[in-house]
Structure 1
Amino acid sequence: MLPGLPVELHERILEHLQDERRTLRMCSLTCRAWVFFAQRHLFRKVRIERRPDSSAFLAVLQASTTGIADHVRELNLLGVLFTTNGLPPPELQHIIRLLVNLETLSIEAVDWPRAMDIMEYSRIASHSLSDAVAFLFPAPTLKALRLWNVHFESANDLLHLLVAFPSLSSVRLVNVSLNNVPERLAQSDGDAHRLRIEGLYVENYTTDGILVLFVDRLLKPPFETHLRRIEWDIDYRVGPYDAGAPVLLEAVRVSVGSLESCDVKFDDDTWLRDLDISRHRKLASLALGLRCTDGLFGATQVDKYTNLPEFLTTLNAPYLRRLQLSFTLLSTRPSCNHLPWQRMDDALVSLHKKHPSLALNFRVTVLMRPCERGDVIPLFVGRFPATVANSVPVSVDVCLIDCGDSTGHLTYVEQHMWSEPLQ
C-alpha cells in the first residue's frame, strides 16, 4: 500500500482497473489492504459455463474468508449446467443461496423444466408453483432476469419464473420460445400483483410471434404494467409484423405516466403512423433503429421507411430530450440508396426548428468486406446537406465492421468506432 494516500484514493485507482482482470488478481495478492477492492471488481460478474466450474466456484465461496460471495452482483449460467430435465443441480442452488447481493441472473440455452418436475423436485407441493421456483432459485434480491434461447412448455411456466423473484423489475427475453399462450396468464390475482416489471427488453429472431403474445397478456388485467424502459427488436422476416406492432404500441400507451426511454429496431416503419408520445411527460430518450441491409439477405426493397420522415416532421414530444437514429448500412452497395434520405434531411431541419433543445444523434454501423473500406463519414454526411447547412447539432457515432462473408453469415473481423459532430 502506498504510504500517505488515503484509502479512498486506493479505491478510486483500483476502480480504473475493473476491466483488467489480470492486474486486479495481481493487486489482490500484492497488498492485504487491496484485497477487498480488487475482489469486488473481480467477482462482480461471474459466468459459469461447465459443471466442474460450478463445483470449483462453490468451493471457493465456502472457503473464502474475505466475503467473495458478497461481491457477486451478476451471475451468468449456461444450459449445460442444468440436469437433463432442466432443473438446477444442488451445487448451483447452493451457489445462488450464498450470493446474498445478487442483482442480475442470466440463463442461456436451456429447456425449462415442466411444472410437475419443479414441484416434485422442490418437495413443497403444498405451496404455489412460484414458491417452488423460488426454492430452486433462492434470490430475493434479484432485480434483473435475462433469458437467452430458453424454451418453455407453457407461458405460465415463464410467468411463475418471473413472479418467483419479489424484487424483480427488469426482464430481457431474447429468442425465448413458448409452446402456448393461454388467454389468461395468471392463475390468481395474487400472482399478478406480485409482478412489478419496469424494464422490458424483447428480442426475437427465430419464432412465429408467440413471445409477443406473452408480452401482450402482461399488458392486460389483472396485471398492472407501467414500464419505465422498453427495448424492442423483432425481426419480422421470421414472424408476422402485424402481430408485434400493436403490442409495442400498447406497451407505450399503458406506460404514458412512467416511460423514460424507448429503443426500437425495426424492418417496417408502418407502426410509426400510430405512435403518439405527446403525453409522455417522463419520456426523455427515443431511439429508432433502421435495418438498411436488404441486399445482405435478398432483394432490395424500394421506398423503404417512407413513414419515418413524416413521423419526424410531425413529432410532438415537448418532453423528449434525446433522439437517436441508428442506421445499419452496406456502404458500397446500392441497398442504402433506396432510403428517403432527402425527406429525412428535410425532416431533421423541421424537427430542430420545432424542438431546438432536442439532442440528435446518429449511430451508423457499416458492414463491409475488407477490400471495400473507405471514408464513411463523407458518404454519410453527404446525404444530409440541409441538416449541415442549417447547423443542426447532430452527433455521429460510427462503427465499422469488416466482414469476410456477406452472404448472410457475417464473419466478424474487426471493429472501429468513433464519435464526431455532423459538419
Structure 2
Amino acid sequence: FPQELVDNIIDHLHGDIIMLRACALTSRHWLPTARYHIFHRISIWTDIDLARFLHLLHTAPHTAPYISILSLGECPDTWAQHLLLLQQLLPNVNELIVNNLDFFDTCDEMLDFFYNHFPWIKSLQLFGSFVGNAKDFVDLLHAKPNLESILLRTSISTNSLTPQLRSRAGVHYPNSRRSPQIFHSLSTSI
C-alpha cells in the first residue's frame, strides 16, 4: 500500500489508542503517524502523571516533537521547576490548556512559568482559572505574541451564590439535591 493511504487510515483511528499502539508495533513505516496521534495531546493532572511523563521524556526523548497540546491540572506550586523543564523539553507545544489556577494565589516561579515560558503558543485555554484584574490578563496576553485564540471558562457553584444572585442568574432548583453550575465563557480569535 502507498504510505499516504496507510497514513490516512491511521488518521481515522485517532481516538483509538489501542489500535494506534497496534499500528505502531506493526511497521516502522506506520510508527510516525501512530505516534503523532498517541502523543499529540498530553494531560497532566497529578504528581504521578507529572513524574511518569518526565520519566517518559527522559527515556524516550523522540516522543517530545509529537506533543503539540499540553493540558495541565491544578498546577500546585511544587510543580514550578518541573514545568520550566517541560518548556525546554517540548519545543512544539502550540496549545496550552490550564485548569483551576488562581494567578493571585500561586508562587512567583509558577507565575514566571505562565508569563515568560511557552511564548510561541498559538492557543491558550483557561478553565476555572482566576486572573485577578484586567492588567494582569493583558500582561498574560502580551507575553504570548503568537497567540491566535483564547478560551476562558469558569464554573461557579450556585451553592456559593446568595438567593438574590441565584434569582438574577435565573437558577431555580428548589427541590434539587444537586447544585447546578453556572458557566461563564469567552472564546475569541485574536
For residue 176 of structure 2, what is the amino acid of its counterpart? T
Aligned match of 2:72: 77
Alignment partner for residue 6 of structure 2, among 2, 6, 10?
Answer: 10
User: After the TM superposition, which residues 128-277 of structure 1 pair with which residues of structure 2 at under 5 Å, given as runs?
Assistant: 133-135=114-116, 138-175=117-154, 237-238=168-169
State the shift of 1:155 in Å.
3.1
Identity of aligned residues (%): 28
Deviations 1:291-337 (CA, angstroms, capped at 9, x unpaired): xxx7x8369xxxxxxxxxxxxxxxxxxxxxxxxxxxxxxxxxxxxxx
1:407 aligns with 2:149: no
8 Å contact kept, 1:27–1:38? yes
Report the CA distance shift for 1:236/1:105 in structure 2 as closer, same or farther (over 3 A).
farther
Report the CA distance shift for 1:408/1:38 in structure 2 as closer, same or farther (over 3 A).
same
Report the CA distance shift for 1:105/1:8 in structure 2 as closer, same or farther (over 3 A).
same
Q: Show structure 2 runs of 5+ residues with no match.
A: 159-165, 181-190
Q: Show structure 1 runs of 5+ residues with no match.
A: 123-128, 176-203, 208-234, 239-293, 300-405, 412-423
For residue 407 of structure 1, what is the amino acid of its counterpart? S
8 Å contact kept, 2:104–2:130? no
SS at 1:150 equivalent = coil
State the shift of 1:151 in Å.
2.1
Alignment partner for residue 39 of structure 1, among 13, 35, 41?
Answer: 35
Aligned match of 1:418: none
Higher relative contact order (CA 8 A, sep 6+): 2
State the shift of 1:134 in Å.
3.8
When the two chains are superposed, the root-mean-square deviation of aligned CA atoms in Å is 3.2
Q: Distance in 2 between matches of 1:70 and 1:236?
A: 50
Q: Distance in 1 between matches of 2:167 and 2:92?
A: 39
8 Å contact kept, 1:133–1:160? no
State the shift of 1:38 in Å.
0.4
| Count of residues in correspondence between the two structures | 173
Alignment partner for residue 68 of structure 1, among 63, 87, 100?
Answer: 63
Q: Distance in 2 between matches of 1:76 and 1:51?
A: 14
For residue 155 of structure 1, what is the amino acid of its counterpart? A
For residue 297 of structure 1, what is the amino acid of its counterpart? H
Q: TM-score, with normalisation over the residues of structure 1?
A: 0.36
Q: Distance in 2 between matches of 1:132 and 1:111?
A: 14
Aligned match of 2:102: 111
When you count helix as a share of all residues, which structure comes out higher? 2
Q: TM-score, with normalisation over the residues of structure 2?
A: 0.75
Q: Distance in 2 between matches of 1:40 and 1:97?
A: 19
Which entry has the higher C-alpha Rg, 1 or 2? 1
After the TM superposition, list the runs of 4 or more consecutive aligned residues in structure 1 that deviate by more than 4 angstroms.
204-207
8 Å contact kept, 1:100–1:141? no
Aligned match of 1:259: none
Report the CA distance shift for 1:134/1:111 in structure 2 as closer, same or farther (over 3 A).
closer
Q: Distance in 2 between matches of 1:237 and 1:22?
A: 48
8 Å contact kept, 2:99–2:128? yes
Q: Distance in 2 between matches of 1:236 and 1:97?
A: 49
Aligned match of 1:246: none
Q: Distance in 1 between matches of 2:156 and 2:46?
A: 27
8 Å contact kept, 1:46–1:72? yes
Report the CA distance shift for 1:236/1:15 in structure 2 as closer, same or farther (over 3 A).
farther
